[in-house]
Structure 1
Amino acid sequence: MSATTTPDDLLAFLERLGISVSTVKHPPLNTVTESQALRGELAGGHTKNLFLKDKKSQYFLVTVGEEAEVDLKALHRLIGASGRVSFGSAEALMELLGVRPGAVTAFGVINDRDKRVKVVLDASLLGHEVINCHPLTNDATTQIARDDLLRFLKETGHEPAILNVSGGSPHL
């Protein structure tokens, strides 16, 4: 694969793993609010992704449900960051995950070949059997089974930390 994986490369990688997904094209969506307005009938958990950095330049990708409220002031203790976290820069986001702001996605770790980003999944998000993520671009949404998303992350060398980030209960 090239330095930055394309959406087609991602889908081909998933296919090679035997992971079946469904992708729907739509106008570019930059925020959760925009995606809620244009969602249509996509079932499953919809994600909000936080690309964060701590004071020692450790990077974290925190994926929660779109409605989740995350206490950024306390999050560092939960995820094992060194001091409080802030949002990573657009440059670091492109360098590490190969995506632009507005297209942050759990699938971005396919580009983190040096394993510099720690993946954190909110336990309540995993209560959904199907999870919706951008396929490296914000003009499409890819539906993937929860267990297949976990397998994808592991196949890229990113064993996710599953934590109660939003304070919600998993609804398994």
Structure 2
Amino acid sequence: MFFVSDIMVMAPDSYKSSLQELVYESLAKLQISFERVDTDEAISMEDCIAINKKLDMKMVKTLFLCNSKKTEFHLFVTTADKPFKSKEFSNALGISRVSFAPAELMESILGVKIGAATVFGVLMDKDDLVRVVFDKDVLSEEWYGCGDGTTTGYMKVRTKQIVNDFLNYAKHIPTVIQM
């Protein structure tokens, strides 16, 4: 059975990565409240069902994408139930076709491993390489469910605070598309 802890409203006592520490420091600085849980390692969207139930929200799907030359990067946030269609994404932005970015670039640019992509990864994007793109349907949800930069920590934050407060603070104003 997939383990999900009781709900907590404080940062962890210790951190598994510099990104995770930065996430909680940033939320505290911005006075953004959250609920969080610790879990077994969650990699797939199926693993998120128990997390969604515990936190009473819907986890977003966050994809790290790049062009074929690996010179343009996109962090795409969409609903968990939508399949990703590269052609539709590229057409919506008027860009050349994209694919999933290699694991090593995800780690070096966002500070996360495969399965841990999160909007908070832009805190590690010091060279401003990443364009944040939101599916419009995510914005209609009151709650934003995502990882904290690990595959064992998940949280619930108000969507408006992610889009308006956090992304402004991180200097990554999102582009919104309809998929």
TM above 0.5? yes
Q: Contact 2:22 / 2:123 at 8 angstroms: preserved in 1?
A: no
Counterpart for residue 85 of structure 1: 98
Aligned-partner SS, 1:60: strand
Matched, 1:72 2:72: no
Counterpart for residue 8 of structure 2: none
1: distance between equivalents of 2:155 and 2:54? Answer: 13
Aligned-partner SS, 2:120: helix
Deviations for 1:109-134, whole angstroms, at most 9, x for unmatched residues? 11111110000011101111111110
Query: How many residue pairs are counted as aligned between the two chains?
Result: 161
Aligned-partner SS, 2:54: coil
Q: Contact 2:51 / 2:154 at 8 angstroms: preserved in 1?
A: no
Q: Which runs of 4+ in 1 moved over 6 A?
A: none
Which AA in structure 1 matches 2:124?
N
For 1:144, which of 124, 141, 157 is the aligned residue? 157
Query: What's the TM-score once normalised by structure 1's chain length?
Result: 0.87
Q: Contact 2:148 / 2:154 at 8 angstroms: preserved in 1?
A: yes
Aligned-partner SS, 1:73: helix
Counterpart for residue 47 of structure 2: 34
Percent sequence identity is 27
Return the offset for 1:91: 0.7
Aligned-partner SS, 1:132: strand
Counterpart for residue 117 of structure 1: 130
Q: Contact 2:48 / 2:59 at 8 angstroms: preserved in 1?
A: no
Question: What are the residue-to-residue correspondences of 1:1-172 with 2, within 5 Å?
Answer: 5-37=18-50, 39-56=52-69, 57-81=71-95, 83-150=96-163, 151-165=165-179
Gaps of 5+ in 2: 1-16
Return the offset for 1:5: 3.1
Aligned-partner SS, 2:46: helix
Q: Contact 2:45 / 2:61 at 8 angstroms: preserved in 1?
A: yes
